[in-house]
Structure 1
């Protein structure tokens, strides 16, 4: 039996990022993936006739450019096509376009309110300042504030210097921003409902909170930090669907000599004398390794793959209370032609970007009210995109793929498990809303893939269907993510690490958790990190 240096559980993007860096450091790494394909939530699959779906994640923005360069992903086929913007369609038949270009965006706001157009400059400046504060922390291990280790002290001093560079007013704004609701934050700048609804969207995506819930302003920041070709705030499609990212990572990993085993579901982590020694597969096979990295979320890792007897009681308690609370669903649609949205002017660029049909903050909040009652939203928020308008590789000529990300969708329906009938009714709710803005939309549907939290958990391994492997609330960030004292990718089991989005800095197709975890493994093994961009930390 071949013994590896490292076994990585899960072939999602963070697991593959970590595997690539460790393999390039000279270690022998194996990735074991339960599905017959790699990618996790970043996959492209052909489920309809000649139409590729981005099954879960659907747009690229957060993926770190340092990782793309280090792992030479463009050489392995990765291309990101930026799109210009999108639109909110309003109930009265109007629309608000969005643009990648700041000045065009501002002029569009002026169609509704000259005051809001002026406020947009101030808003963009203030949010960008928050981005500049948080971005340097993404690819650094969060310090333990109660540790006296030189590394932690050095990182705390780094944070202190960043805070010290702020004026008293800037520090006050930052602390308020991290804790306030996106609704309250936007009220300080804007007066127009559709503008506030458009900007509030990024504060609630993937989060079991409403726009009026404290903490949602930070979630906005998490999405605003996107970067395509060096343009902060830009979003784009991966050519070939989001699976192109994980296919490029897989190719980079295998080119370096790494092994990938698909159809290899992990049953448990093998632990002997308090140390991880590999994994036992559901088919009875074992894959042995000196170290194990889990790309599964913190609950799946420690409550399902590890015997609780191997873990401190307090640690298990904290893991059990780590908040997942899935709130999202996905409806993927193959279309026999480009849908028509009469509200948009002929030739409008917006159909190539993100389309939204919720035009007030109150409508978003009411959609959240349904989630709190254990129901999918009767009037959901949709983030609808048609990547085939810019990427012809995903469908034959004349055909299109439409991705619909849906808020809010509960892990259970009024306390019970989802049924197929629930899933179908949920899909009908989504299609009905689109059809209200696009006459004849139903007639264009060739095929649909519907994913509720039930499917996201069963097929992708996301506990409760949470796309971020845990909520991005202030109590679950930095040294609290996932558990205080274990926020540096290590665990109570020697040789067992986490590398998924349950760790700092959180979810999204970013790659930073995998990068940071690999750096910590190399540090523990006292191996050089010269092949990694010098973004990790100061010591």
Structure 2
């Protein structure tokens, strides 16, 4: 029996500030998509309790106040959804208040160059307009772009089912009787189907998975602004350069979602990403799940998971525990007798409140100050060429925050004005690269944090003069902040590396890739498990 909560034999879903991803989880061989975990588990007939570590639900996918009257989601401003089972339940969340605002165009890259005005690259779903934009830099690239999109689309269609299926249990393939081994071979079916779908071009697609994204893009294009813009999706959230082998897969990971039936589309959640977390919570409680904030402390186990111990000492007993925390937190903090964890890659984040929209030299604002199409995009700065991304990466590998970091900026209030008072706007920023451990043992203190933020804001000022003067409040989150507040190890939004040695049946480790853990009854269901979605892509 549980003590204090009145939840006999509840199945706790432990939320260690993880962000809560849309992943498949598995219980006794039956598929249970674990986000929204509680809603699905409750619907399956299990008594479910969600225990959130923070005071606000949603892990990293929350909406919080920066300055009075403003709301921001600094760690997950965008939303894209998988095409599998979870996306089919979006109407349920819409009945609980979810409203998504699609973005089109979706990418804007202004340049710094000695011409007036400087050029910019605007990418959207209109193929003809996108080709016209690319043609500013290369007619050849403009003609190749639709074929590139089709090539990547075929690969995504083939691999997407693998994200909605359990990884192959390699340890089980050679175990048991001959009949059991033949049955185990059925787990290879998704892999074989993916290979058949890719057909004769399988070697080309294999190269995308294993090669540096710079090599792949060089095959297709010649213009640096286009290659650098596309390469941002291959390195975002990872300590990787465009020249790092395997970075092509990270790019694929960012185009595998869809929104309103459009593959690769992204949007803003009205009210911030916390509104999605609330819709999921309402859907779960409507099905009978119980949700508690500021509760989880440790997994209670004596040889096997037997429940969760709360901060006040209350024991919630259960035969099964699902941990949405990272493997590092799950095994080093929640179950301290287990050893072995992994992480890698960092991504600082920040949010700012402005008293006016940024006016870019490459696309000045109108006299009325109203948002223009590019204001709704992911805005990429310091992306004139892939060499700039590699240079920023190299500095970080030596323990120094990048002096000219890659900046991905978005302004959700351009589509959702309710996030800020009239005339004001909310900006979310992701920047790369910054090491979690600085050179010479220097700590991420207040002075270092603000110095790096000033570097980022100085860069933005070059592209949009007057930006710094428009800032009326800002919130800076360094890698240690992301780990302390949101449980992201080393500031890693994926809960660990997305390199090939940490994917599929090797995520988080070859022996425990099927969501089970070294502790019987304890399952992983966060981003550290297959398929490794990150909170800003498909978040609660």
TM-score by structure 2 length?
Answer: 0.89
1:107-142 C-alpha deviation (Å, 9 max, x unpaired)? 211122111111112211211121012111111111
Who is 1:341 aligned against? 360
Identify which of 199, 219, 225 aligns with 1:188: 219
Distance 1:263 1:171, change over 3 A: same
Which residues of structure 2 form unaligned runs of 5+? 22-33, 174-179, 367-371
Distance 1:423 1:210, change over 3 A: same
Identify which of 93, 111, 119 aligns with 1:90: 111
Who is 2:332 aligned against? 303
Who is 1:136 aligned against? 161
1:146 offset after TM fit, Å? 3.6
Who is 2:308 aligned against? 279
1:397-441 C-alpha deviation (Å, 9 max, x unpaired)? 111000111111211111443211111111111111111111111
1:258-278 C-alpha deviation (Å, 9 max, x unpaired)? 111111141x21112x22111
C-alpha contact 1:265 1:282 (8 A) present in aligned 2: yes
C-alpha contact 2:67 2:353 (8 A) present in aligned 1: yes
1:226 offset after TM fit, Å? 2.5
Secondary structure in 1 matching 2:77? coil
Identify which of 510, 515, 523 aligns with 1:484: 510
Secondary structure in 2 matching 1:96? strand
Q: Distance in 2 between matches of 1:434 and 1:511?
A: 24
Residue 377, structure 1, aligned to residue 414, structure 2: no
Who is 2:299 aligned against? 269
1:232-291 C-alpha deviation (Å, 9 max, x unpaired)? 11111111111111111111111111111111141x21112x221111223323222221
Distance 1:37 1:512, change over 3 A: closer
Who is 1:13 aligned against? 20
Secondary structure in 1 matching 2:86? helix
Distance 1:245 1:259, change over 3 A: same
C-alpha contact 2:240 2:345 (8 A) present in aligned 1: no
Q: Distance in 2 between matches of 1:329 and 1:512?
A: 19
1:25-60 C-alpha deviation (Å, 9 max, x unpaired)? 121111111211111111101221211010311111
1:485 offset after TM fit, Å? 2.1
Who is 1:294 aligned against? 323
C-alpha contact 1:299 1:463 (8 A) present in aligned 2: yes
1:63 offset after TM fit, Å? 4.8
Distance 1:440 1:151, change over 3 A: farther
Distance 1:282 1:126, change over 3 A: same
Residue 394, structure 1, aligned to residue 394, structure 2: no
Q: Distance in 2 between matches of 1:422 and 1:5?
A: 45
Distance 1:65 1:484, change over 3 A: closer
Identify which of 33, 55, 69 aligns with 2:88: 69
Who is 1:463 aligned against? 489
Residue 164, structure 1, aligned to residue 235, structure 2: no
The count of corresponding residues between Structure 1 and Structure 2 is: 501
Who is 1:534 aligned against? none
Q: Distance in 2 between matches of 1:161 and 1:34?
A: 40
CA-based RMSD: 2.0
Distance 1:214 1:233, change over 3 A: same
C-alpha contact 1:86 1:349 (8 A) present in aligned 2: no
Q: Distance in 2 between matches of 1:62 and 1:491?
A: 27
Who is 1:413 aligned against? 438
Identify which of 146, 151, 168 aligns with 1:126: 151
Q: Distance in 2 between matches of 1:447 and 1:151?
A: 59
Secondary structure in 2 matching 1:269? strand
C-alpha contact 2:108 2:122 (8 A) present in aligned 1: yes
C-alpha contact 1:145 1:156 (8 A) present in aligned 2: no
Q: Distance in 2 between matches of 1:38 and 1:155?
A: 35
Secondary structure in 2 matching 1:163? helix
C-alpha contact 2:61 2:536 (8 A) present in aligned 1: no
Distance 1:152 1:177, change over 3 A: farther
Q: Distance in 1 between matches of 2:500 and 2:214?
A: 17
1:78 offset after TM fit, Å? 0.9
Q: Distance in 2 between matches of 1:141 and 1:200?
A: 29
1:294-322 C-alpha deviation (Å, 9 max, x unpaired)? 001111111221132xx5xxxx4xx33x3
Who is 1:522 aligned against? none
C-alpha contact 2:107 2:379 (8 A) present in aligned 1: yes
Residue 30, structure 1, aligned to residue 49, structure 2: yes
Q: Distance in 1 between matches of 2:183 and 2:254?
A: 29
C-alpha contact 1:112 1:192 (8 A) present in aligned 2: yes
Secondary structure in 2 matching 1:472? coil
Secondary structure in 1 matching 2:435? coil
TM-score by structure 1 length?
Answer: 0.89
Identify which of 352, 365, 387 aligns with 2:376: 352
1:379-403 C-alpha deviation (Å, 9 max, x unpaired)? 0011101010111221121110001
Q: Distance in 2 between matches of 1:58 and 1:136?
A: 26
Who is 2:465 aligned against? 439
Who is 1:100 aligned against? 125
C-alpha contact 1:227 1:233 (8 A) present in aligned 2: yes
C-alpha contact 1:335 1:447 (8 A) present in aligned 2: yes
